[in-house]
Copies of this chain bind each other. A is one copy, B any other.
Amino acid sequence: MKKRGPASIDVAKLAGVSRSAVSRTFTPNTYVSPETRAKVLAAAEMLGYRPNAIARSLSKQSSGLVGVICSDLTNPFYAELLERLSMALQKRGIGILLLVGDASRMDDLLERMLSYQVDGILLPASKLTSKLAVSLNASGRPVVLVNHQLLDGGVSSVGGDNYAGGVVVAEMLVAAGYRRIGYISGPEDTSSALDRGRGLQDGLARHGLPLLMRASGEDSRDVTMAVMRQFMNRAEPPDAVFCANDLMALAAMEVAELEFWRDVPDGMGIVGYDNTLLARSGLHQLTTVDQNLDEMAEQAVAMLVEKLAGTRAETVEHVKIAPRLVPGATTR
């Protein structure tokens, strides 16, 4: 005994008008005489009518839904990013079909998004294969990558300017008097990690300083700590370390403080990335780099919306959002 809600025809009958009149009443930019509109609205109110978006989608050949495929909401950065993306989409009246999963299941996930006729796809993910880009483009739907780019894939993206972030960190560290600087990059050399590293290196080079050591850990705590120990055991250990995210920075700091008795920030500078909750909740306020997620989300959604509208449809663009240094207590 399924109790379905009222349909437009029920409202039409009650109001003594046609279905089209009802439809028009609930469709923006359309003409209905004030009095029919009033009748319709009254009837709708009375019946508790609500337009069926599914039927509308079928008829309009557009679902008003955007697919978002997320991996790893455990990482506060992605969780926050998802929140901002949602806000930006909702603001525009677009619904979100959420799928969570890692790259391995991506094909399957994509398939499901498409069967729901999403109008476009937003992909905030760290790890993407360029094979995936092919599937994405084959889907025929507009796609925007967020916080990641695929240089060879021909897929548009919006992300932080990681190179600039690296430079900014370099400038700050040098100004604060650090000289022996190391870098621990994120998991498996993603483009963002590489760019930050290049930025750091180039920034240091401007002051005639080398990037003394670099290594890529997973972003797991254990691996980061192991890498940090290697750094500290060198003949010339670093006096500052830049990590590819806040979580790693905290792990590195723990090694420096508890295992090697360094005094942060004087004996050792630590810099993270992302300005997540983690940076603000530890015993020290972590020096970090804010990626301006609001802006990133806003731009990504704006770009997608333009693609949906047909504008900017074919061009492949890579928008970069300027990062901002957030000084904390872990650097001088």
Q: Which residues of A contact B (CB under 8 A)?
A: 2-5, 50-55, 57-58, 61, 63, 65, 68, 72-74, 76, 79-80, 82-83, 86-87, 90, 95-101, 109, 111-112, 114-117, 140, 221, 247, 250-251, 253-254, 257-258, 277-278, 280-283
Partner of A283, one of B2, B86, B221, B283: B283
- Give me 7 A-to-B residue pairs in the complex whose CB atoms sit less than 8 angstroms apart, sorted by A's number: A4-B61, A74-B79, A76-B79, A79-B79, A96-B99, A250-B281, A257-B283
- Asked whether, in the complex, the Cβ of B114 is within 8 Å of the Cβ of A50, the reply is yes
Give A221 to B72 CA distance when docked, in angstroms: 25
Instruction: Please give 10 more A-B residue pairs, beta carbons under 8 A apart, in addition to A50-B114, A74-B277, A247-B277.
Output: A3-B140, A73-B82, A74-B79, A83-B100, A90-B99, A90-B109, A96-B99, A250-B281, A251-B281, A253-B283
Query: How many protomers of this protein does the assembly include?
Result: 2
Give A63 to B282 CA distance when docked, in angstroms: 44
Give A254 to B96 CA distance when docked, in angstroms: 39
CB-CB under 8 A for A87 and B100, given A82-B73, A258-B283, A280-B221: yes
Q: What is the CB-to-nearest-CB distance from A329 to chain B, in angstroms, rounded to a whole number?
A: 11
- Asked whether, in the complex, the Cβ of A95 is within 8 Å of the Cβ of B116, the reply is yes
Give A55 to B52 CA distance when docked, in angstroms: 12
Point out the residues of chain B lying under 8 angstroms from A115, CB to CB: 50-53
CB-CB under 8 A for A54 and B117, given A97-B95, A98-B68: yes
Point out the residues of chain B lying under 8 angstroms from A100, CB to CB: 82-83, 86-87, 90
CB-CB under 8 A for A86 and B74, given A54-B117, A278-B281, A281-B247: no
Give A258 to B53 CA distance when docked, in angstroms: 56
Q: What is the CB-to-nearest-CB distance from A217 to chain B, in angstroms, rounded to a whole number?
A: 14
CB-CB under 8 A for A5 and B140, given A90-B99, A96-B99, A117-B54: yes
Which 7 residue pairs of A and B lie closest in terms of their CB atoms, listed nearest first?
Answer: A79-B79, A86-B100, A73-B83, A98-B98, A53-B115, A96-B98, A53-B116
Give A82 to B109 CA distance when docked, in angstroms: 17
Point out the residues of chain B lying under 8 angstroms from A97, CB to CB: 65, 95-98
Point out the residues of chain B lying under 8 angstroms from A99, CB to CB: 86, 90, 95-96
* Nearest chain B residue, comparing its CB with the CB of A72: B83
Q: What is the CB-to-nearest-CB distance from A281 to chain B, in angstroms, rounded to a whole number?
A: 5
Point out the residues of chain B lying under 8 angstroms from A280, CB to CB: 221
